[in-house]
C-alpha cells in the first residue's frame, strides 16, 4: 500500500497545531450530546461487557434503556435518568422518547460482533439497507466502493454524515458516493439511520433517509485490536490491526484522540465456488440446454457477415484444415479468471481534538486521511470491434486480401485475448477530510456551532492487459477506406504495420506472444478528483419559551445557514479519449455552489397530565439556492403523542428533493457493457410480440433463426451525464406506534408504516427495457436510442444517458422488537428483531408511461431485487463475562423480472428464487483489560440461490454472505 507522505505530514502537523494552539474538537455536531461544562469529569470509555450484536433497535426511551442494559455492567439493569440528547433528524436536544422520526441505532458492539470487514458489509444485514447500492461483490465496475441504499431508493438518494457533517464522496467512472469502506469500523461509536426523508433539515440527497456515523471522541483510554478471518475454503483472508489513544490536558478542558488502522482482505475467485464455476450465459427455455460462458473464445472465431459459416480456429495457424464449426464446447468459461469479491487494502490515520476556553468558546477540529487500494481481475478482454466515440471499425474485419484469409471475402473476427493475460483492475483512493470550528453558549439558553469542512478524494484507476485496438488493426493490416466512418469498407494494407515502430504482422489464428503481444498490450490509467467545501453556522435554544398552561413544556428553536461548493473531474486515459482502445471515454468536469437556510421549531404541548404523558409537535423548513437550477423549498411536520407511558403514537409528513449529482450532470459519454440480450437472439421468448420482433430484425437484414449474438448477455450501452437535468422532488410520510409496557420491563416493540413518492426521477432506463420497447413495437420512440447495427449485424450501442424519466412510489411496514430479561443471577437473555415488509414498489421509466411493479421481483440480469420480506434477528445469552450470540438473516423469495415483464415459469427453466436464511454465531469473553471474540458466519455454509445472470450464477448484490460461504474470524483487543 502506498501512503501519501505529504498528507501524512500534514496530518501530523495538524495534530501538533491542535496541541500548541489548543484548538480542538469533540466533533460538535448534530450527532453530539450535551455541551461540555467548563470543569468536567474526565470521560472514559465504558468497560465492554459480555454481550454481542443485538439487532439495531428503534430509538426510544426504552430503547436507550435497553442499549444501556446491553453494556452488561451490573448497574446497567437500572434505568438511566431521563435526558435530552441530539438524535439524527432534529437539530434540537430532546428526550429520545419524544422524537417522532423513525431512527435506528446501531452500536459499535453490534458491528464488531459480526464477521463484517467494513461498515458497508455490516449495514447490508439490516432489512432497511437494500442491495441496489454498491458493495464488495460488485467486481465489474464497483471500484471497490461500498455505497449504502435505504429502502431500495438508490444510493444517490441517501445522505451519509459523519458526526453530523457531510463527507466528501469518492468519485469514479460514472459513479460517486460516500464510500463506507473508507470509514474504519473501529473508529465507530454508533450509527444512526433516519428512515425518513431529511431534506428539510440536511438538504439534498436525504430523500430516502440519512446515515449518521458517530465516531469515538474525547476518550482517555487506549485500545489495540487484532482481527483475522478466513473462509473454510481457505480464501477471503482478512487481517486488521487498529488502535486509538486519548489524552486529556489542562485539567480536562482539552482532549486529543488519535487513531490508526491497517486492514487487508483478499478476494475470492469465482472458480473456487462450485455454484459459480460454470456460469450460465442466460436462462434457457424449458427443455433447452443452457449456454455456458461467453461466445467469444480464446481461439479466434470467424463469422461470415452473411451468416453462411461460423468457425473457430484450431489454434494451429489456420489453413483449410485449421477450423471447425463453432459449438457450445467452444464457449469460454470466464470464471477461471474472474473474482467474486474485491481484494482490499486500507490504511487510516485520524486525529480529533478540542479545547474548552470557557462556556462560550469550545474549539474543535478533526482530520482523517484514508488510503485504500481495491483490486480484482476479469477474464481477458474480448475484442469485437469499436464503439463510440471511436471511429475505428465497428467490427474486427479480416480483409479479403490478408494472406491468412482463405475465404476470399471480408470476414468478422472475434477473439478473447486471454493469451495477453486477464484484465487486472487496481483502484487507489486517497481521501482527506478536515473539520474545524467552535461552539458554545451565547447567552441564556442560546447556543451556537460554526464550522468549516474541507474534503478531497483523489483516485487512480488502472487496468492492465487491455488491448490497443488501433494496434490490433495495424497487426492485421486492416485499413479503413474512410477513416472517419466506423462502418467503412476495409482493405488489406501491410504497409501501415511496417511503418509503425514495434508492429509485426500477425497470424490471427495463432496465440499472441513476444513482440506482437507487447505491441498490443496496454495499461489504461484514469484519474478522478472530488473536492468539497462546506461552511455551517447554527444556533439553537431548547427552552426559548415556557407554555403558560398546566403541563405545558418549552418551545425550542434551531436555525442555521450553510454554504457548500462541490467540484469533480474525471480524466480518462488519452488513448481512451481518442478511441484507440476501441471504445473510449470523454472528460468529466464540473461543479456547483449552494446556499441554504433552515429553521426548526419543537413544541412540547403537554407533559405528565391526564391522557397526555407526552404531546410534542415539530416543524422544519429549508430554503436552498443552487447556481445550477435555482431555488428549492422543503418542509416537514411531525407529532409524537403518548397518552400513557406504555404506548406512544408518532407520525411525520414532509417533502424532499435531490439535486443531480456531478456524475449525472457532467459525466463524459462512454461505452459500457450492461447486462441484457439482443432481441434478435431471443425473438421466440417474446410470446405474442415474437412476430413483431422477427419482423423488426428482418427489416435490418437479420434472420433470427440463424443470428449469432457476439456480445452474449451484454449490450453495448452509451452512458453519460446530462447538464439539463432538473432536481427530483419527493414526499414522504410515516406513522406508527411504540409500545413499552411497564409490566414487562425492558421490552420495546414498534410498528411503522412508511410511504415514499418521488417525481422527476433521475435514472438510466434499463437497457433491456429500451431494446424490448423498440423491437416489440410497444415503444417505437425508443428506436431512436438504438444505433445502426454493425456490418456483422451486431448491436453497436444503445444510448442511455441520465434523464428525468418518470416516478417512483414505494411503501411498506417495519416491525422492531427489543427485549432483555434475567434468567438467573448470572444469566440474561437479549432478543432483538428488525423486520421489513415491502407492500409496493412502483417505478415509471418515462413521464406518463407505464408503472412497473417490482415488489417481490428480482431483476435477475442486474443482480439485485426487491424482496417483499427481510428480517434480521439476534439472541444473546450472557453469563457473567461470557456471551453467546446467534444471528439470523432472512431474504424473501422473488420472481425473475427483466425490467419489463416477469419470466413465465411455463416457458423458462428458472423463474424465481426461494427465501434464504443465513445463520451466524459469535462467542465473546471479556476480561478487565482484554476482549476476546470468536465467530462463525454462515455456519451452515448456505449457498446463494441460482440466478442465470450471465456472469456468476447468482444475484451478486443480494446475497453477499452466501457468496463468501462459511467464514471464521477471531478478534483480540487490549484496553489500556
pLDDT in tens, 635-654: 999 999 999 999 999 999 99
Model confidence band, residue 848 (pLDDT cutoffs 50, 70, 90): confident
pLDDT tens digits for range 584-618: 678 888 999 999 999 999 999 999 999 999 999 99
pLDDT tens digits for range 472-527: 999 999 999 999 988 899 999 999 999 999 999 999 999 888 899 999 999 999 99
Domain boundaries, the chain: 5-238+256-271+341-377+427-462+527-664+725-765+801-975
pLDDT tens digits for range 917-935: 999 999 999 999 999 999 9
Work out the number of other CB atoms within 10 angstroms of the CB of residue 907.
Answer: 14
Contact 464, 422 (CB under 8 A): no
pLDDT tens digits for range 540-551: 999 999 999 999
3-class SS at 457? strand
**Stretch 106-120: mean pLDDT:** 84
3-class SS at 797? coil
The x, y and z cell numbers of residue 657, run together, are 428533493
Packed helices 690-699 and 767-776: angle between N→C axes, nearest 10 degrees: 90
Q: What angle do CA 613, 619, 620 make, to 5 degrees?
A: 140
| 876 pLDDT above the threshold of 80 | yes
Model confidence band, residue 25 (pLDDT cutoffs 50, 70, 90): very low
The predicted pLDDT at position 166 comes to 93
The predicted pLDDT at position 564 comes to 97
Contact 806, 846 (CB under 8 A): yes
Separation between Cα atoms, residue 38 and residue 178, nearest integer Å: 35
Note the residue count of the chain.
Answer: 976
Q: Render 266-325 in DSSP notation, one character per residue.
A: ---BGGGSTTTSS-BSS-PBTTSPPPBSBSS-SSPEEE-TTSS-EEEE-SS--STTSEEE
The predicted pLDDT at position 60 comes to 38
**Stretch 207-235: mean pLDDT:** 93
**Stretch 194-212: mean pLDDT:** 91
pLDDT tens digits for range 351-397: 999 999 999 999 999 999 999 999 999 999 999 888 777 889 988 99
The predicted pLDDT at position 136 comes to 66
Q: Does domain 5-238+256-271+341-377+427-462+527-664+725-765+801-975 have CATH number 3.40.50.2300?
A: no
- E-strand stretches of 630-765: 630-644, 647-658, 670-675, 714-719, 728-739, 747-759, 762-763
Give phi and psi for 271, each to the nearest 5: -65, -15
The x, y and z cell numbers of residue 174, run together, are 460514472
Neighbouring residues of 232: CB distance < 8 A, sequence distance ≥ 6 = 941, 965, 966, 967, 968
DSSP 676: -
**Stretch 417-443: mean pLDDT:** 94
The predicted pLDDT at position 138 comes to 62
Positive/negative CA dihedral, 148, 153, 157, 160: negative
Contact 960, 121 (CB under 8 A): yes
The predicted pLDDT at position 44 comes to 37
- Decide: residue 722, CB within 10 A, 0-12 exposed, 13-18 middle, 19+ buried: middle
Separation between Cα atoms, residue 602 and residue 410, nearest integer Å: 76
**Stated pTM of the model:** 0.85
The x, y and z cell numbers of residue 38, run together, are 467548563
| 21 pLDDT above the threshold of 70 | no
Q: What angle do CA 309, 311, 313 make, to 5 degrees?
A: 155
For residue 124, how many C-alpha atoms fall within 13 Å in the half-sphere facing its CB? 28
Q: Rounded to the nearest 10 degrees, how much is the dihedral formed by the CA atoms of 805, 806, 811, 814?
A: 20
Amino acid at each position: 500500500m502506498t501512503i501519501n507522505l505529504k498528507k501524512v505530514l500534514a496530518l501530523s502537523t495538524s495534530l501538533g497545531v491542535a496541541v500548541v494552539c489548543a484548538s480542538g474538537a469533540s466533533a460538535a455536531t448534530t450527532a453530539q450530546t450535551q455541551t461540555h461544562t467548563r470543569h468536567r469529569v474526565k470521560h472514559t470509555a465504558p468497560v465492554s461487557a459480555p454481550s454481542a450484536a443485538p439487532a439495531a433497535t428503534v430509538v426510544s426511551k426504552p430503547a436507550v434503556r435497553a442499549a444501556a442494559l446491553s453494556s452488561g455492567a451490573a448497574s446497567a439493569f437500572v434505568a438511566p435518568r431521563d435526558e435530552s440528547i441530539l438524535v439524527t433528524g432534529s437539530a434540537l436536544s430532546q428526550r429520545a422518547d419524544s422524537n417522532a422520526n423513525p431512527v435506528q441505532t446501531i452500536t459499535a458492539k453490534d458491528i464488531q460482533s459480526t464477521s463484517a470487514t467494513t461498515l458497508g458489509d455490516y449495514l447490508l444485514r439490516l432489512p432497511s439497507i437494500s442491495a441496489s447500492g454498491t458493495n464488495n461483490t460488485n467486481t465489474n465496475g464497483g471500484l471497490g466502493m461500498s455505497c449504502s441504499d435505504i429502502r431500495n431508493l438508490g444510493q444517490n438518494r441517501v445522505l451519509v454524515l459523519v458526526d453530523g457533517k457531510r463527507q466528501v464522496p469518492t468519485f469514479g467512472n460514472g459513479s460517486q458516493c460516500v464510500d463506507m469502506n473508507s470509514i474504519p469500523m473501529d473508529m465507530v461509536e454508533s450509527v444512526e439511520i433516519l428512515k425518513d426523508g431529511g431534506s428539510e433539515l440536511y438538504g439534498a440527497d436525504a430523500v430516502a433517509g440519512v446515515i449518521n456515523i458517530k465516531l469515538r471522541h474525547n476518550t482517555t483510554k487506549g485500545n489495540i485490536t487484532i482481527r483475522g478471518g478466513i473462509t473454510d475454503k481457505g480464501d477471503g483472508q482478512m487481517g486488521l490491526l487498529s488502535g486509538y489513544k486519548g489524552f486529556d490536558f489542562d485539567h480536562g478542558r482539552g482532549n486529543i484522540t488519535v487513531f490508526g488502522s491497517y486492514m487487508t482482505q483478499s478476494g475470492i475467485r469465482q472458480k473456487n465456488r462450485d455454484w459459480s464455476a460454470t456460469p450460465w450465459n442466460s436462462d434457457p427455455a424449458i427443455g433447452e440446454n443452457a449456454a455456458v460462458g461467453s461466445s467469444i473464445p480464446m481461439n479466434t472465431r470467424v463469422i461470415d457477415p452473411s451468416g453462411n459459416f461460423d468457425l473457430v480456429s484450431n489454434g494451429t495457424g489456420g489453413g483449410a484444415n485449421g477450423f471447425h464449426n463453432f459449438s457450445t464446447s467452444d464457449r469460454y468459461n470466464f470464471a477461471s479468471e474472474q473474482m467474486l469479491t474485491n481484494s482490499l487494502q486500507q490504511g487510516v490515520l485520524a486525529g480529533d481534538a478540542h479545547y474548552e476556553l470557557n462556556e462560550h468558546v469550545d474549539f474543535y477540529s478533526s482530520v482523517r486521511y484514508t488510503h485504500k487500494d481495491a483490486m480484482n481481475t476479469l477474464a481477458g478482454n474480448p475484442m469485437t470491434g469499436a464503439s463510440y466515440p471511436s471511429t475505428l471499425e465497428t467490427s474486427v474485419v479480416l480483409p479479403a486480401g490478408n494472406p491468412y484469409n482463405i475465404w476470399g471475402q471480408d470476414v468478422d473476427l472475434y477473439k478473447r485475448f486471454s493469451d495477453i493475460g486477464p484484465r487486472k483492475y487496481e483502484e487507489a483512493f486517497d481521501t482527506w477530510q478536515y473539520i474545524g470550528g467552535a461552539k458554545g453558549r451565547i447567552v441564556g439558553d442560546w447556543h451556537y456551532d460554526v464550522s468549516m469542512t474541507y474534503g478531497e478524494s483523489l483516485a487512480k484507476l488502472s487496468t492492465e492487459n487491455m488491448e490497443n485496438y488501433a494496434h490490433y488493426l495495424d497487426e492485421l493490416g486492416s485499413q479503413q477506406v474512410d477513416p472517419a466512418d466506423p462502418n467503412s469498407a476495409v482493405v488489406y494494407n501491410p504497409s501501415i504495420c511496417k511503418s509503425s515502430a514495434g508492429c509485426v504482422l500477425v497470424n490471427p489464428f495463432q496465440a499472441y506472444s513476444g513482440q506482437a503481444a507487447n505491441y498490443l498490450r496496454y495499461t489504461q490509467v484514469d484519474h478522478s478528483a472530488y473536492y468539497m467545501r462546506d461552511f455551517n453556522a447554527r444556533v439553537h435554544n431548547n427552552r426559548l419559551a415556557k407554555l403558560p398552561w398546566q403541563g405545558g413544556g418549552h418551545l425550542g428553536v434551531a436555525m442555521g445557514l450553510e454554504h457548500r461548493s462541490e467540484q469533480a473531474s474525471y480524466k480518462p486515459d488519452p488513448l481512451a479519449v481518442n478511441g484507440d482502445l476501441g471504445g473510449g471515454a470523454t472528460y468529466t468536469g464540473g461543479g456547483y455552489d449552494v446556499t441554504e437556510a433552515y429553521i426548526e421549531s419543537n413544541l412540547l404541548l403537554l407533559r405528565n397530565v391526564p391522557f397526555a404523558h407526552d404531546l410534542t409537535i415539530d416543524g422544519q423548513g429549508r430554503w436552498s439556492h443552487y447556481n445550477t437550477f435555482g431555488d428549492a423549498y422543503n418542509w416537514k411536520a411531525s407529532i409524537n403523542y403518548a397518552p400513557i407511558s406504555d404506548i406512544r403514537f408518532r407520525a411525520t409528513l414532509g417533502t424532499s428533493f435531490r439535486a443531480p449529482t456531478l456524475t449525472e450532470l457532467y459525466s463524459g459519454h462512454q461505452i459500457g457493457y450492461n447486462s441484457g440480450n439482443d432481441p434478435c437472439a431471443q425473438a421466440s421468448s417474446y410470446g405474442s410480440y415474437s412476430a413483431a420482433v422477427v419482423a423488426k430484425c428482418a427489416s435490418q437484414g437479420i434472420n433470427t433463426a440463424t443470428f449469432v449474438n457476439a456480445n452474449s448477455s451484454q449490450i453495448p450501452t452509451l452512458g453519460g451525464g446530462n447538464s439539463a437535468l432538473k432536481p427530483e422532488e419527493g414526499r414522504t410520510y410515516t406513522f406508527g406506534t411504540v409500545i413499552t409496557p411497564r409490566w414487562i420491563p425492558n421490552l420495546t416493540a414498534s410498528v411503522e408504516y412508511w410511504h415514499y413518492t418521488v417525481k422527476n426521477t433521475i435514472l438510466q432506463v434499463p437497457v433491456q427495457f429500451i431494446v424490448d420497447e423498440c423491437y416489440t413495437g410497444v415503444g417505437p420512440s425508443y428506436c431512436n436510442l438504438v444505433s445502426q447495427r454493425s456490418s456483422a449485424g451486431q448491436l453497436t450501442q444503445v444510448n442511455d444517458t441520465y434523464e428525468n424519466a418518470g416516478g417512483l412510489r414505494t411503501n411498506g411496514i417495519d416491525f422492531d422488537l427489543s427485549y432483555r430479561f434475567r434468567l438467573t443471577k448470572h444469566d440474561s437473555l437479549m432478543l432483538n428483531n428488525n423486520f421489513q415488509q415491502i407492500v409496493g414498489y412502483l417505478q415509471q421509466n418515462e413521464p406518463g408511461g407505464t408503472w412497473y411493479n417490482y415488489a417481490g421481483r428480482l431483476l435477475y440480469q442486474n443482480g439485485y431485487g426487491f424482496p417483499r420480506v427481510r428480517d434480521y434477528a439476534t439472541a444473546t445469552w450472557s453469563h457473567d463475562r461470557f456471551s453467546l450470540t446467534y444471528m439470523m438473516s432472512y431474504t424473501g423469495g422473488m420472481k425473475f423480472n427483466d425490467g419489463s415483464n416477469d419470466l413465465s415459469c411455463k416457458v423458462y427453466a428458472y423463474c424465481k428464487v426461494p427465501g434464504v436464511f443465513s445463520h451466524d454465531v459469535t462467542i465473546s469473553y471479556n476480561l478487565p483489560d482484554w476482549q476476546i471474540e470468536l465467530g462463525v458466519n454462515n455456519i451452515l455454509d448456505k449457498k446463494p440461490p441460482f440466478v442465470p445472470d450471465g456472469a456468476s450464477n447468482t444475484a451478486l448484490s443480494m446475497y453477499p454472505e452466501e457468496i463468501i460461504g462459511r467464514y471464521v474470524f477471531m478478534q483480540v483487543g487490549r484496553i489500556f
